[in-house]
Amino acid sequence: MGDTIFGKIIRREIPADIVYEDDDVLAFRDLNPQAPVHVLFVPKRAIATLDAATPADAELLGKLLLAAAAYARSLGVAGQGYRTVINCNEHGGQTVFHLHVHLLAGRHMQWPPG
Ligand code: AMP
């Protein structure tokens, strides 16, 4: 897989507003926020897309979601609610090919999405 801007953030080659880190996951604020809270949860071991994930990635994918949920709880927004999104490939709107979970909170989300 080619390197991406998220790889550069993980290696601290470019700055980001990092809000959470553990051995497997890095989370930082989205540069172009779509909600009052918009944080990206990124696995340190890159997977290009959800479509490229395999059963060997199951634990890592679970860790990403649990990290997002725990962060939302820590902010106090879990009770009101939030949205998690994984965009996959062109029709999904994916622009950075290093799998990531968007955590969006702080406003009412519309459904269906645009
Ligand atoms: P996606 O379209 O699902 O691939 O999401 C990529 C997200 O990364 C977009 O919401 C961008 O605003 C965000 N983004 C791109 N570059 C950066 C960056 N350097 N720091 C933080 N967020 C970024």
Substitution candidate for ligand 1 out of 40, 64, 90, 104 with most atoms within 8 A of CB:
40
Above 80 in pLDDT, residue 2? no
CA-wise closest residue to 28 among 40, 13, 12: 40
Burial class (CB in 10 A: 0-12, 13-18, 19+), 28: buried
What is the model's pLDDT at position 108?
Answer: 96
- CATH class, domain 5-105, is alpha beta
Determine the atom of ligand 1 nearest the C-alpha atom of 28: 21
pLDDT confidence of 113, banded at 50, 70, 90? confident
Above 60 in pLDDT, residue 96? yes
What proportion of the chain, given as a percentage, has pLDDT over 70?
98
Pocket of ligand 1 (CB under 6 A): 5, 16, 28, 30-32, 40, 87, 93-96
Q: Look at the block and give the residue holding tokens 């290696």.
A: 11
Q: What is the pTM of this model?
A: 0.98
98 part of the active site:
no
